[in-house]
Structure 1
């Protein structure tokens, strides 16, 4: 099996939401495999946020660190090896913040691929892709209805 390298491209940067395109490179050929959404929910994590943890750990919950969700949407199922690599990549974004808790979730999202393909027919307008990604699982969704394509040329899309 060929070794993969993952590249992240910042696509959207708002106050509490960041969206990155995930590109996989194998033998110098790069392809889009999905998106990563980071959401700062501005609250401590709770046991409900980490239901997959062992109940013994949850009964003694005392974590008051700020919670950031990393949601990774791929166009198709990926191997455990790729999941581990993408978790590591997500963790590198916040690992040196002093008091943050990261929750990483994975989703296979055919809808995102369809919207991405439609963007090719619409002057590469990916704003509908970003809106879907934010609406899908965000605790604090935002509307991108007033976002202009030109604003994507700036580091931040906050207005």
Structure 2
């Protein structure tokens, strides 16, 4: 059985937010299955950020590493095997940073697919897609209202 491959494509790169398109290669055909959003919240993680940890860890909490949220939005639900592959991709972005803590969550967001399809029909103006992804769960949301399409031709979209 041949495994599927995943490719990340940089879509938006701002000071504290990155958006990457997740493409799946299945038997040579590549298709967009969702987006990964990385957000640097510029603070240490707290027990409230990791509510799924057993309470016994909370009494000795002393983690002062910088917290980065990774949120993966897929158009449809995905298997645990696919989730594991995407977790590995997310971790490779920050695994060699000396003092960083990653908080990763998965979401099924069919509304992102609708926005993507509408944007594709509108000369590929994807800014509404990016804004939705940032607004959805960001601790420090930013506005992309002044973002110009031409700025997407640069490595960073900070103005």
- What TM-score, normalized by structure 2, do the two folds share? 0.98
Structure-1 separation of matches of 2:152 and 2:126: 10
Q: In structure 2, how many angstroms separate the alpha carbons of the residues matched to 1:59 and 1:107?
A: 30
Name the counterpart of 1:62.
62
Q: Deviations over 1:50-108 (max 9, x none)?
A: 00111111221110000000000000000000001100100000000000000000000
Counterpart for residue 126 of structure 1: 126
Stretches of 4+ aligned residues off by more than 2 angstroms: none
Number of the residue aligned with 1:103: 103
**Residue number in structure 1 paired with 2:53:** 53
**Which residue matches 2:138?**
138
Specify the alignment match of 2:7 in structure 1: 7
What is the root-mean-square deviation of aligned Cα atoms in Å?
Answer: 0.7
SS in structure 1 at match of 2:84: helix
| Deviation of 1:121 (Å) | 1.6
Unpaired segments ≥5 residues, structure 2: none
The DSSP-based 3-state class of the residue aligned with 2:139 is coil
Q: Quick one: distance in 2 between partners of 1:149 and 1:137?
A: 24
Asked if residue 148 in structure 1 is aligned to residue 148 in structure 2, the reply is yes
TM-score (norm 1): 0.98
